[in-house]
Amino acid sequence: MLIEFLIVVFLLVLGFTSGKLLELRHYKSIREREARWSAVPAVTFRTLPDQRPVAASVLVAGSVVISIDFWKRFLSGLRSIFGGELLSYSPLFDRARREAVLRMKESCPKADLFLNLRFETVSISKGAGRRIGSVEVLAYSTAIRYADEVRSEETR
């Protein structure tokens, strides 16, 4: 009985530690890449904010699937017994949205602006008790390349 209890405790500690380390490493990667892309805005406007001539526009998308770790699944199971907001899922969706936007931006590196940014989110795997197991987030927008930017690069 004691050995079984220690195994459960060990698995919980292992799940918490490995999940936290992987999450922290992913957030570090996200922050570094967001800093590199901070000069290229992704906006939800449906029309261009200025009247500059456009050289090219293309639909771009970025998608990511992120799964919840063992520890957060355990916490959400406890929380579902007592009720309330499942706070352990908030970082899952935050990481997925931010990663999807970064992948979208990375798919069109020469864009000057990403217009009409939208998200689609779906739970692709249900865990036991109809809990979320994995989430897919798709970010899509129109990548805009301004004509004056293209001309200034060609003259360099």
Output the pTM of the full model. Answer: 0.79
Distance CA 80, CA 74 (A): 10
Q: Which position has the higher pLDDT, 2 or 139?
A: 139
Residue 84's identity, in one-letter code, is G
CA-CA-CA-CA dihedral for 32, 35, 36, 39, to nearest 10: 170
Domain span including residue 93: 2-154
Distance CA 29, CA 27 (A): 5
Query: What 3-state DSSP class applies to 27?
Result: helix
Distance CA 62, CA 8 (A): 38
Helix (H) / strand (E) element for 116: namely strand 113-126
> What is the mean predicted confidence (pLDDT) over 72-78?
71
pLDDT at 92: 84
Give the CATH number for residue 108.
Answer: 3.30.110.70
Quick: pLDDT tens for 98-139. Answer: 999 999 999 999 999 999 999 999 887 665 555 567 889 999
- 145 pLDDT higher than 90: yes
Q: Report the domain count for the chain.
A: 1
